[in-house]
Amino acid sequence: MSSPKIRVCGVKKSFNSKRVLDGVNLEVMPGESLVVIGLSGAGKSVLMKCILGLLRPDGGQILVDGEDWCTLSRKEQLERMRRIGMVFQGSALFDSLPVWKNVAFSLLQRGEKPSVARTRQPRAGTGRPARYGRSHAGRAFRRYDQEGGTGARHLP
């Protein structure tokens, strides 16, 4: 039997006197989808941010691929973030950058030339680059940039 991709054991998180997470436990197996549903303010985002390392839990353990993220340094966490994708509630696109730079952000940070990064993006799951220059998205990005648009949250 395979080990869980994500294991959350007794995670606690409080803000001042307000206890948001109080001993949360969950496991996500490889290939499994998990939905966390709750009222506004129930702590869904706080749980996600704890798993991502954006917030440090007050107690408990978070294991991703068997590694305890709470004990990793910031540099080690950043290196492991390459394996994780996150879509924020409000999109959190970089509104000072054009659309193509939002899409190619990771490539540019890894030292890819802008001219190359603009026409390539990693194919999901494979890590291999895939051209989208002639795809619908590629045409959309190009058209959007030509129209002078920067920072729209929704692509045309």
Partner 1 sequence: MKFLQGLGFLLESIFAHVGMYANTLARIVRAMATPPWYAKLALQQAEEVGVQSLPVVMMTALFTGMVLALQSYIGFHRFGAESMVATVVSLSMLRELGPVLVGLMVAGRVGASFAAELGTMRVSEQIDALWTLSTDPFRYLIMPRIVAAILMMPLLVALADAIGIFGGYVISVHFLDQTPAVYIENSTMFLELHDLFSGIVKAAVFGGIIGLVGCSEGFHCSGGAQGVGKATTRAVVVSAMSILIFDYILTAWMFQ
Site for partner 1, rule CB under 8 A: 49, 52-54, 74-75, 78-79, 81-82, 84-86, 88-90, 92-96, 105-106, 109
Provide the minimum distance between the beta carbon of 67 and partner 1 in the complex, in angstroms, as a whole number.
16
> Which CB, 75 or 128, lies closer to partner 1?
75
> Which CB, 85 or 136, lies closer to partner 1?
85
Provide the minimum distance between the beta carbon of 134 and partner 1 in the complex, in angstroms, as a whole number.
26
> Which CB, 23 or 65, lies closer to partner 1?
65
d(CA 129, CA 123): 6
The answer to whether 60 and 66 are in contact (CB under 8 A) is: no
Distance of CA 79 to the CA centre of its chain: 13
d(CA 55, CA 43): 12
- The angle at the Cα of 56, spanning 50 to 20, to the nearest 5 degrees, equals 65
